[in-house]
A and B are shown apart, each in its own frame.
Chain A
C-alpha cells in the first residue's frame, strides 16, 4: 500500500491537473478577496458595517463549504485525475505487478482524500489569510465594534469536523464514480449533480418553508438522509448570525447526525466501489 501511495504522490506532483487546480484556486481566492472588499466598501457600509464579507471568519465559513466555487471544482479535478490513472494504464500496471485490486482501490481512495483535503486546506488557508489581511478576522461595525462572539472556538471545531466528514464522503463517492465509469464524460455530471442537489437542498427548503423549517418533520428527515445537511445549515445560519451579531450554534444533534450519516454513506460508497472494482475487468 505504501508503495502505491508513494507512486500516487509522485504522479500527483508532476500532474498538470493538480497544478492547474492549484492555480485556479489561487486565482479564485484573489478574485473573491477583491470582490468581497468591493462589496464591503460599496454595499455593506449602508448596513452599518465597515468590514463584513471581506473578513477571515466569513472566508472560513464560505470557503469551507463543498458547494462554493472552488469546492465544486475539486471533485471534477479528482474525477479527471482518477480516470487518467485508468486511461494511462497506471492501474493496469499496478494490478499486473501483483497488487491486489483491493489494495489498489484503497490507495486510490486515500490518495483521492489527500488530493481533496490538501487542495481545500490550501484554498481555505489562502482565502482566510487574504480576507483577514484586507478586512481583519471578525466583522466590524462602522463605529469600530468587533463582532467576535458569533464564532466560538468550539463552533469552529464542530464546523471543521462536519466539513472533514463531508469531504471524506465526497472523495469516497467521487472515486466510486470515477473507478466504476472510467470515463471523464459521464463521470463528471454523475459526480457533481447529486452533490449540488444534496448540498443545496437544506438551504432551498429552509428558504421555501421559512420559520416552519426549524424543528419540522422535513428537517428531521433531511438530517437523516442528507449527509451535507449540517454544513449547509451552518453556512446558511452564519450569514444571518453575522448580520445580527448573535452566535451560530451547531447543535449536538446536527453534529451527531452528520457524523453518523456521513460514516454510513462513506461506508456504502467504499463498499460498493470495492465490489465493483473487484468485479470489473481492467482494460
Chain B
C-alpha cells in the first residue's frame, strides 16, 4: 500500500502551473527522498498533502483515503509535517511549545523531558524559542512532530541549518524511526549526499514535473561506473580511446577525460603509452544519486 499517492495533481498560482500532472507513489514504510531544484515544486506538493493548499485539479490520497473524503482529517491526524520551517511560538519555551501542541493535537502530555532529551534540548530550561539557533528550532520541530506517534512524516529540508553533528544525529533519528516504528518518511533535501544515506526510494521533480521515481536498488543498477583519466594531452587521448572502441568518452575539463563504458585499464594505459600520452591518474567511480539527478536533469533540459 502507498502512504501517499497523487493522481494527475496540478497546482496553479495566478495561472502559472507549479505542479504539472504529478503522479507520485510513496510506499508505506519507505524513506522517500524528494529531490529537485529550488522552485521545482517539492514544498508545494508537501503543502497540498498536508491540507495547507488546495489542488487546482487532480487529487491525492493518504493511506488510500482520497483528499475529498472526510476521513482525510483522521489520516492527517496521524501525520506529522515540518514544511519550510517548524512553526513555533517565539515567546514560549521549548516545553511550553510542546504542551501547546499537545492541546491542539488533543493528546495527553507524554514524557516531555524524555522527548526533549531525544532531540538534545533537555537543558534549554526557560530559554525562549526566539533565542534558539535554527538547528535547535529544527530539532524542536522534530520533537513536536513525534508527539502524536505519526505513521507518516513530511519533512521539507529538515537538515537546513544543522551542523554536521546535528545532521548525523537527525539521520540516525530518522533511520531509527523508520526501522523501529515503521514510520514512512517523505523527505526533501538539497543535501543529496545525506539523502543517499537514508532514502529507500527517490522522486525527482523539476519545474513542477515528476521526472522519475526510483528505488535505491533500481538506482544502483542504473548508476553507471565511470572512469576519470588525467592525461598530458586530452585531444589525443580521446582519439586513441575512440580507436579502442570507447564511444562514451569526453573531456570534462582540460586533460581530464571521463569514460562512461566498462574499461580495461591495462589496455588503455598501454595504448596511451604507445601514443606517448602520459597518464598521471586513473580513478574509477560509482555514479551516485547526485550524478544520476544531474544527468536526468541534463536529459530533460
CA distance A14 to B126 in the complex (A): 14
Size category of the binding interface on chain A: 20 to 34
CA distance A141 to B69 in the complex (A): 70
Residues of A within 8 A of B72 (CB): 98
Residues of B within 8 A of A96 (CB): 50-52, 76, 79, 81, 83
Given the known inter-chain contacts A11-B89, A98-B79, please indicate yes or no for A3 contacting B52, CB distance below 8 A.
no
A90 with B105: CB separation less than 8 A: no
Residues of A within 8 A of B53 (CB): 281-282
- Cβ contacts A79-115/B at 8 Å (1 or 0 each): 0000000001110111111111100000000000000
B99 with A10: CB separation less than 8 A: yes
- Cβ contacts B77-94/A at 8 Å (1 or 0 each): 111110101111111100
Given the known inter-chain contacts A88-B88, A281-B47, A282-B52, please indicate yes or no for A100 contacting B104, CB distance below 8 A.
no
Residues of A within 8 A of B92 (CB): 14
Name which residue of chain A comes closest to B92, CB basis. Answer: A14
Given the known inter-chain contacts A10-B99, A11-B100, A98-B76, please indicate yes or no for A90 contacting B87, CB distance below 8 A.
yes
B291: interface (CB < 8 Å): no
Supply 6 further A-B pairs (C-beta < 8 A) apart from A281-B53, A283-B52. Answer: A88-B87, A88-B90, A94-B104, A96-B79, A97-B148, A279-B54
Name which residue of chain A comes closest to B129, CB basis. Answer: A88
- Cβ contacts A243-283/B at 8 Å (1 or 0 each): 00000000000000000000000000000000000010111
CA distance A93 to B79 in the complex (A): 11
Given the known inter-chain contacts A96-B51, A100-B73, A281-B52, please indicate yes or no for A89 contacting B88, CB distance below 8 A.
yes
Q: How far is the CB of A83 from chain B (nearest CB, A)?
A: 14
CA distance A111 to B91 in the complex (A): 20
CA distance A173 to B290 in the complex (A): 52
A3 with B105: CB separation less than 8 A: yes
For B, the interface residue count at a CB cutoff of 8 angstroms equals 34
B103: interface (CB < 8 Å): yes
Residues of B within 8 A of A281 (CB): 47, 52-54
For the complex of A and B, list the 6 residue pairs with the smallest distance between their C-beta atoms, beginning with the closest.
A89-B87, A98-B77, A98-B76, A3-B106, A7-B103, A7-B104
A3 with B104: CB separation less than 8 A: yes
A97 with B79: CB separation less than 8 A: yes
Name which residue of chain B comes closest to A99, CB basis. Answer: B73
Name which residue of chain A comes closest to B77, CB basis. Answer: A98
Name which residue of chain A comes closest to B90, CB basis. Answer: A88
CA distance A279 to B52 in the complex (A): 10
Q: How far is the CB of A249 from chain B (nearest CB, A)?
A: 48
Q: How far is the CB of A99 from chain B (nearest CB, A)?
A: 7
Q: Is the interface of A mostly helix, strand, loop or mixed?
A: helix
A4: interface (CB < 8 Å): yes
CA distance A93 to B147 in the complex (A): 13
Q: How far is the CB of B18 from chain A (nearest CB, A)?
A: 11
Residues of A within 8 A of B100 (CB): 7, 10-11
CA distance A171 to B216 in the complex (A): 54
Task: List 25 A–B pairs whose Cβ atoms lie within 8 Å, in order of A's numbering.
Answer: A3-B103, A3-B104, A4-B104, A6-B103, A7-B100, A7-B103, A7-B104, A10-B99, A11-B100, A14-B92, A15-B91, A88-B87, A88-B88, A88-B89, A88-B90, A89-B87, A89-B88, A92-B52, A92-B87, A96-B50, A96-B83, A98-B72, A98-B74, A279-B54, A282-B53
CA distance A33 to B6 in the complex (A): 64
- Cβ contacts B143-155/A at 8 Å (1 or 0 each): 0000010000000
- Cβ contacts B254-273/A at 8 Å (1 or 0 each): 00000000000000000000
A38: interface (CB < 8 Å): no
B87 with A93: CB separation less than 8 A: yes
CA distance A10 to B101 in the complex (A): 10
Residues of A within 8 A of B106 (CB): 2-3
Q: How far is the CB of A88 from chain B (nearest CB, A)?
A: 5
For B78, B104, B106, B148, which residue has the most chain A Cβ atoms within 10 angstroms?
B104
